[in-house]
Amino acid sequence: MSAYLEKLHSEVFEPVRNEVPDLIVGKERYLLISEVLDRLPERQAQAMRDYLTAVLEHMEYTSASDVDLGGIGGQNHIWFRTYGAKKPWLDGPDLTPYEADILCVANLTTEQLDILLAEKNLDFSFTVDLKNIGQRRFRANMYFDLDHLALNMRRINAEVRPFKSLNLHPEVAKALSLKFYKYGLTLVTGITGSGKSSTLDTIVDANNRSVDGHIVIISSPIEMVHVPRRCLIRHREVGRDTLSFKQGAIEALRQDPDIIVLGELRDAETILTALEITDSGHKTFSTLHTASATESIDRIIGEVPPDEQNRVRLRLADVLTCVISQKLVPTKDGKLTLAKEVLLNTSSVKAAIRNNNTGEIYQMLMEGGNMGMMTMEQDLKRLYDEGLISLEEAYNQANNKKRLKDIIS
């Protein structure tokens, strides 16, 4: 693979480098690269696409979840994240920042390049046919690193994990199903790379297979494309199919949905939108970058202006159904396994949210096992007891190390 990429190097990069002086910088540089690329013969344009395809084929071959290239920080290497560890491809081809600039621009549409230059960042989805593998989708983010382009691409799983693999209590499974709960807000939370999107896709797929309804997915970008089974499914990418999360959600309310999926609650506007559409009687799913169920509740309330917080607290107490906070934990055999904290909005939890006593919720999680609730520490203990993870890793991943020590001792 590396030899093949090295062979492509001269054919891919030299024709453009010869027409783009290094002294040209900033927006003008990238517009000139785009102009030169447009004049290339089809054979050379195809070689540019083949180069990135070959990198993604190596990514699949090594079971990597992410690839990073370009920018000053890459030190001329292509980097892969495999089972949680990000490392350079040392025996791969050298890719200078200038060459990465060309490769990045070559794989953007004119519209995408305009957005990138205006906003200095671009989220987009990327679909490619890989040799002996077939069609694969990737979630991509392009940005600037000291005036050079850098690119991260995350592999989107081609298959949805079975719902049973989440190992959820029947009461939690009911809360996630349109069959039993026709409305309510469910959050899947965790840090970047914790598998939130995969869990959300599993929940969507379970509803798609078990109930007759209409699911509208609004995301930036769209990752998994679900095949309609018992549900009509619409995929609406922010920036391409709708202007914003808020606009997409408002539009969805006029499209007769049963389930609305908002890819991420990124800001106060999206949070308020999620509460509004759930309040209107819809089942809503979304993700949040938080490490625990309690932190998720506090984050939602804290994101809005102080004069709105009490109103949001009361609305959240009414519409919240479930929070799943998760982590991907390294196992003893060098792979990753799912650890999770699960909160159901029982009457006691609802009262704690209403009265601004979220500090009481952790104890409710610990004592709610009969309903399927658990703390992250309880699930880490389970993984340790089953021999899947080491004691050291359990402590590394615990949100509350003292609590973990108490229940393991």
State the CATH number of the domain containing residue 321: 3.40.50.300
In this structure, are 172 and 240 located in the same domain? yes
Closest CA to 255 of 282, 228, 279: 282
In this structure, are 132 and 168 located in the same domain? no
In this structure, are 262 and 382 located in the same domain? yes
**Considering 156, 175, 201, which residue would you say is the last residue of a domain?**
156
> Distance (Å, rounded) from C-alpha 126 to C-alpha 135?
10
Q: What is the pLDDT of residue 83?
A: 86
- Spell 345-372 as b/e; 16+ CB within 10 A means b: beeebeebbeeeebeebbebbeebeebb
> Distance (Å, rounded) from C-alpha 284 to C-alpha 81?
31
> Distance (Å, rounded) from C-alpha 320 to C-alpha 206?
20
> Distance (Å, rounded) from C-alpha 221 to C-alpha 123?
6
In this structure, are 208 and 149 located in the same domain? no
In this structure, are 250 and 128 located in the same domain? no
Q: Find where tokens 């540089």 sit.
A: 29
Residues (pLDDT < 50) of the chain are none
Closest CA to 292 of 330, 329, 326: 326
In this structure, are 256 and 319 located in the same domain? yes
Q: What is the pLDDT of residue 24?
A: 85
Closest CA to 368 of 317, 408, 322: 322
**266, 245 Cβ separation under 8 angstroms:** yes
Q: For the segment 231-285, what is each residue's pLDDT rounded down to a tens digit?
A: 999 999 998 899 999 999 999 999 999 999 999 998 899 999 999 999 999 999 9
In this structure, are 139 and 172 located in the same domain? no
In this structure, are 149 and 192 located in the same domain? no
**Structural domain boundaries enclosing 350:** 163-408
**Considering 101, 123, 156, which residue would you say is the last residue of a domain?**
156
Closest CA to 48 of 9, 87, 4: 9
Q: What is the pLDDT of residue 7?
A: 67
> Distance (Å, rounded) from C-alpha 379 to C-alpha 341?
7
> Which whole-number Å values give the CA distances from 330 to 82, 251, 383, 392, in the listed order?
11, 41, 11, 11
> Distance (Å, rounded) from C-alpha 248 to C-alpha 253?
9
CATH number, domain with residue 146: 3.30.450.90
- Tell me how many domains the chain contains: 2
In this structure, are 197 and 319 located in the same domain? yes
**Considering 156, 189, 215, which residue would you say is the last residue of a domain?**
156
**329, 336 Cβ separation under 8 angstroms:** yes
**138, 125 Cβ separation under 8 angstroms:** yes
In this structure, are 106 and 22 located in the same domain? yes
In this structure, are 201 and 115 located in the same domain? no
Q: What is the pLDDT of residue 12?
A: 73
Q: Find where tokens 């199919």 sit.
A: 241
In this structure, are 71 and 86 located in the same domain? yes
Cis peptide before 97 (omega within 30 of 0): no
**What is the dihedral sign for C-alpha 26, 30, 33, 39?**
negative
Mean of the per-residue pLDDT values for the chain? 92
Q: What is the pLDDT of residue 144?
A: 96
